[in-house]
Amino acid sequence: MEDGLLSLKWNNHKSTFFHILSEVRGKHTYTDATLACEGKFFPVHKLVMSTCSDYFAEIFEKTPCKNPVVVLKDIKKSDLEALLDYMYIGEVDVRQSELAGLIKAAECLRIKGLAVPDEDPTKAQKKGPSSVPERREDSPPAKRKRRDSGGDRGRIPSPTISRGSSQSSSHPPSASSVPSQAPSQLSSVPESHVPSQSMPPPPSVSQETRHVDSGRGRQDSHLQQSQSQHTSQISSLRPSADTSSLRSPPSGGPESSHPSITSPRSSDQSILPVQMIKVEVDDADNSGAKDSHGDREDGSEMDGDEEETSNDFSEYQSHGGEIEKEEHDQMDSYGADQIPGPSGLQGAPPVLSWGEEGEAGFPHNLFGGDDPAAQQALCDMPESRLACSSQQQVWPNLHSSESHARSGQSQQTFSRSSESQMLPPSYPRVVESSRLQGYSRGQEIAVVEHFKRLFQCPYCEQKMTSKGSLVRHIRSHTGERPYKCNYCTYAALQKSDLDRHTRNRHRDQI
DNA sequence: CAGCAGGGGGCGC
DNA sequence: CGCCCCCTGCTGA
């Protein structure tokens, strides 16, 4: 600097960014991803999500989609909203009674500072937002560390966890290997259990752990640091919450607290192949969670009331709640075999990913992939998106996708067209298009990608299963009606339609 | 009844 | 293998 090097410092840089971030969030400007939770859409920014969660970082990293929709299952909308506040604002007020649930959700999503040690980026370069892959590894390890330190002892060794950790680091995110979704999640979200092992213990746990660690012999300074930070964060999160409350969830100690935690099944599968990502998060109290869901379901309406920024699907999803449950059921019902990857976990993993075939390609996100318009729509308020989707493109998609799923996909279990139809339009659509293998109904799944090659319509977000279909579809946009009736002014987009028309209307004249 | 999309079959490269 | 055509089925008005 002294050599003529000037340091230009923007004093208000942080505050400016913070302010802009708030604005951007409020206006949904530049949103490039959407979180779907309990039927609501939460337009978010990948940058923010990735910054605050390694989990999201992984998802986005592995998801080429421009506007991926990540469905968060088993996470309460209220919790998600709180977490979003936490991520965007850096703090959030929560009721003590809600803290446990919130922490669980945070763990499932690996929210830094809440569930994952929040290291100072400047200290740990790895964690730079951009270096997702690394991060991915980092974060899980961090959890592990914590866990290991505190939780291992006494806890049932969860293969998953250990595996995940080792693997995550060892194995590349290659899609083929079923990239990891969130290792932690997987483990963490056993269907009916608490986030478990791989997941970082709830804050309370972490605290305990921390203490223990320090007591025992400290582990990495990192760990401690992170933990300490973590703790602090928590406190900030809810100052009033006393440690006891925090601990209460895990009460027994990290491990003990989550008896179910050890889901043997959890395994790396959590790693997502990338194509579709389904995030299922079960609350620790499964029953509780489910109940809550149930409540919610009833209250899908409730969503509408509460949500602020979220998009409201309530209209579409009168069955939202049910759907979710159904998903669970389905998941369970589906043999693990059917569902590649995590799904195999059956119930356990919060995150499900399918990826097998799909890897090849689909880059487009559900909503619009490449279509700028579509993207805009996405970027816009959720409502806009809905509107966009409702433009008939969505529905058709739904339909088509559904059938597609049924037919193309091994129809594993997809026989329930009717049911799927019941699902909220946008929801199902998303899911289906992504081609949930095992998911027939689940529709809540976040589909990030398609497993089958699809042809994106340049005029809308719709994707067709064949080029021919696309050409035909495009006619609907261009107004081209090549098949004209010889007896009247009718013109059809498809010859079969003209034939049908002629048959029906001009039988006599034929 | 019309619009629309998926799938299958036939054909040509 | 890709394209085209046709049939089929679903959905909404």
pLDDT of A372-384, one tens digit each? 333 333 333 333 3
CA of A403 to C1' of C10 (A): 10
CA separation for the pair A395, A414 (Å, rounded): 18
CA of A507 to C1' of B8 (A): 28
Whether CATH 3.30.160 fits A481-505: yes
Q: What 3-state class would DSSP assign to A375?
A: helix
Place of tokens 């729509």: A377
Q: Reply yes or no on domain A24-141+160-200+263-358 having CATH 3.30.710.10.
A: yes
Confirm if A51 and A18 have CB atoms less than 8 A apart.
no
| Bases on strand C under 7 Å from any protein CB | 2-12
Query: What pLDDT was estimated at residue A453?
Result: 64
pLDDT > 70? residue A41: yes
Give the nucleotide nearest to A502 (CA→C1'): B1
* A23 CB neighbours strand C below 7 A: no
Residue A429 has pLDDT above 50, yes or no: no
H/E element, A35: strand A33-37
- Evaluate if the CB of A503 falls below 7 Å from strand C: no
Which nucleotides of strand B lie under 7 Å from a protein CB? 1-8
Per-domain residue ranges of chain A:
24-141+160-200+263-358, 481-505
Asked if strand B comes closer than 7 Å to A501 Cβ, the answer is yes
Predicted confidence at residue A221, as pLDDT, reads 35
A504 beta carbon to strand B: under 7 Å: yes
- The reply to whether A398 Cβ lies less than 7 angstroms from strand B is no
**CA-to-C1' span, A399 to C11 (A):** 9
Is the C-beta of residue A492 closer than 7 Å to nucleic acid chain B? yes
CA-to-CA distance for A506 and A510, rounded, in angstroms? 6
The nucleotide minimizing the C1' distance to residue A490's CA is B2
Q: Between the CA of A70 and the C1' of C12, what is the distance in angstroms?
A: 30
Residue with more model confidence, A139 or A15: A15
Where is average pLDDT lowest: A26-40, A75-89, A192-206? A192-206
A264 CA to B6 C1' distance (Å):
40
Residue nearest to nucleotide C7 (CA to C1'): A496
Distance in angstroms, CA of A398 to C1' of B6?
12
CA of A496 to C1' of B5 (A): 12
Q: Which of A41-45, A216-220, A418-422, A494-498 has the highest mean pLDDT?
A: A494-498
CA dist., res. A398 & res. A428, Å (int): 6
Give the pLDDT score at A116: 65
Range picked from A102-106, A268-272, A369-373 for highest mean pLDDT: A102-106
The answer to whether the Cα torsion of A12, A49, A312, A379 is positive or negative is: positive
Count Cβ atoms below 10 Å from residue A405 Cβ, excluding itself.
Answer: 29
Q: Which residue is nearest to nucleotide C9 (CA to C1')?
A: A403
Nucleotide closest in space to A402 (CA vs C1') = B6
A174 φ/ψ angles, rounded to the nearest 5 degrees: -55, 140
Task: Provide the CB-side half-sphere exposure for A181 (13 A, CA).
Answer: 37
**Residues A114-141: pLDDT tens digits?**
776 665 544 444 333 333 333 333 333 3
Across residues A279-289, what is the average pLDDT? Answer: 36
Question: Whose C1' is closest to the CA of A417: which nucleotide?
Answer: C10
